[in-house]
Structure 1
Amino acid sequence: MNRLQSELQRLYHSPEAGQVRAMVLEVGRPASWDALGKAWRGVQADLGLPAPAIAVSGADAFQLWFSLAQPVPAQQAMDFLDALRRRYLGELAPERVRMHHGAVLPPLEASPGRWSAFVAPDLAGIFADEPWLDLPPGPEAQAELLSRLESIKPQELAAAANEAPAPAASAPTFAAAPEAGHAGSPAPSIAGGADPRRFLLEVMNDRAVDLRLRIEAAKALLPYVEGQPP
């Protein structure tokens, strides 16, 4: 067994069926280190967890690989990952976030000439447009990256699980930064007894408003427009 294999086994191998030691949180389609980097920093600063490994998938995503010191049931791992998703990645479309148990470990040739690999935090942004390596990563360099990582101890996982659920949403505000090339308009207001339907239409059509709020406004308008001719 070489050094890389030893590090992979130390961090992620679980000998028990139905139990896992690897938890993987992935953002892709398209890949975004800006989004996943927020989770990487947050689990350390907010939850007190050891830094997870960072990897490029070899296809279309960035990944965080969490290592558990002791195996846990697969469903418990998925529940924890989902709590992290809601806390740190709730703004992303659901199809851009994947969670799994790390059955296939990097480095691996995902497709001809495109390798998955573990990468250093200060180099992750380099792979924003192409989340893969063109050549097989050196096993010694991969092993060195992994050697700096620690597994999450049971008491750390328990404490983080109590903190991980997403905070309660605050009352929405409609102010938002204007899109590039678009002059922002004042935030819509319903003060003064304005017509609710007109207010919702203003929100839905205002490109300066966060897209999620525009979608919610469109949903709220459905009862007023269903069955009406276009």
Structure 2
Amino acid sequence: MNKLITQLQRLYFLPDQPGLGQSPEDDGSNLPFQPVSADGTVRTLSIRFARPGDWEVLAQLYQALREELDLPAPAISVSGDKGFRLWLSLAQPIPVAQARHFLAELRRRYLADLPPASLELVPGAEPATIDLAPALNTATGKWSAFIDPSLGSMFSDESGLEMAPNMDRQADLLASLKSIDAAAFRHGLALLAADEPSPAPDDSPQRPADKHSTLTVGSNYSDPKSFLLAVMNDPSASAGQRIKAAKALLPYFAGKRD
């Protein structure tokens, strides 16, 4: 058990944070893990997928974090109740606001099609704790556990393990993971920001004053007829502007013969 706690501390605990996790009796009891420090910093970013059927979306996010954002592989755990949790480890704590922004960008880019109620982002708008894995869910009688991502589809219909996982193997899974250093985190955040959509074009009706301001006919005209003729021949004028100018010119040509 000490081997597993050592890996949990290495990846997810804040400096000087007291050890949390399995009891010495290995009965699966554990204390809630608070990822945010008293001074508002965090080094564990987590996304909970409440629906087991969303495994494929989680798998795509897992792949994107590595291949598109150039980040180390995160951990994935299966819940003793339902669904999965993705764990991101930072080498150095960052402000909560920055962590929330990063998670929001991940959600915007990769998880936009999922209902908000099916996701839990930690840290989020409200303070939240995380149940560390592995642990026994007393309501279902099943265990949460860290899993090899290649086996995730096995839990897409029903979550949880019927028996307690091997704690040394759990530790070995975590031992293979690396925390995200500060430079890699900034790089990933920059890649997410570069993908932000451009502001939508303004499709609101243009006011008459705005339309006139786009004309290039100038203002050096001594009479209305000359101005209207200039509008008729101005390439920057819209079809509507030319029609209005033509109608306004009719009185000047009424009754005129060739």
| Cα pair 1:40 1:51 within 8 Å, conserved | yes
Q: Rg: which structure is higher?
A: 2
- What do residues 174-210 of structure 1 show as CA deviations (whole Å, max 9, x unaligned)? xxxxxxxxxxxxxxxxxxxxxxxxxxxxxxxxxxxxx
| Cα pair 1:31 1:62 within 8 Å, conserved | no
Amino acid at match of 1:105: L
Identical residues among aligned pairs (%):
41
The equivalences for 1:155-166 within 5 A come to 155-165=183-193
What is the DSSP-based 3-state SS (H/G/I as helix, E as strand, rest coil) of the residue aligned with 2:170?
helix
The Cα of 1:109 is off from its aligned counterpart by 1.4
- Rounded to whole Å, the distance in 1 between the matches of 2:170 and 2:152 is 14
The equivalent residue for 2:112 is 90
The equivalent residue for 2:246 is none
The Cα of 1:167 is off from its aligned counterpart by 4.3
Amino acid at match of 2:2: N
Gaps of 5+ in 1: 172-230
Gaps of 5+ in 2: 16-36, 124-128, 201-258
Does 1:49 pair with 2:71?
yes
The equivalent residue for 1:168 is 197
- Rounded to whole Å, the distance in 2 between the matches of 1:81 and 1:141 is 29
| Cα pair 2:52 2:155 within 8 Å, conserved | no
The equivalences for 1:1-230 within 5 A come to 2-15=2-15, 16-17=37-38, 18-101=40-123, 103-112=130-139, 113-165=141-193, 167-168=196-197
**Structure 1 residues 138, 30: CA separation in 2 closer, same or farther (over 3 Å shift)?**
closer
Q: Which segments of structure 1 move beyond 3 Å, counting only runs of 4 or more?
A: none
The Cα of 1:80 is off from its aligned counterpart by 0.8
**Structure 1 residues 48, 73: CA separation in 2 closer, same or farther (over 3 Å shift)?**
same
Scaled by the length of structure 1, the TM-score of the pair is 0.69
| Cα pair 2:69 2:188 within 8 Å, conserved | yes
- Rounded to whole Å, the distance in 2 between the matches of 1:146 and 1:28 is 22
RMSD: 1.9
| Cα pair 2:52 2:158 within 8 Å, conserved | no
- Rounded to whole Å, the distance in 1 between the matches of 2:192 and 2:148 is 25
Scaled by the length of structure 2, the TM-score of the pair is 0.62
- Rounded to whole Å, the distance in 2 between the matches of 1:32 and 1:111 is 24
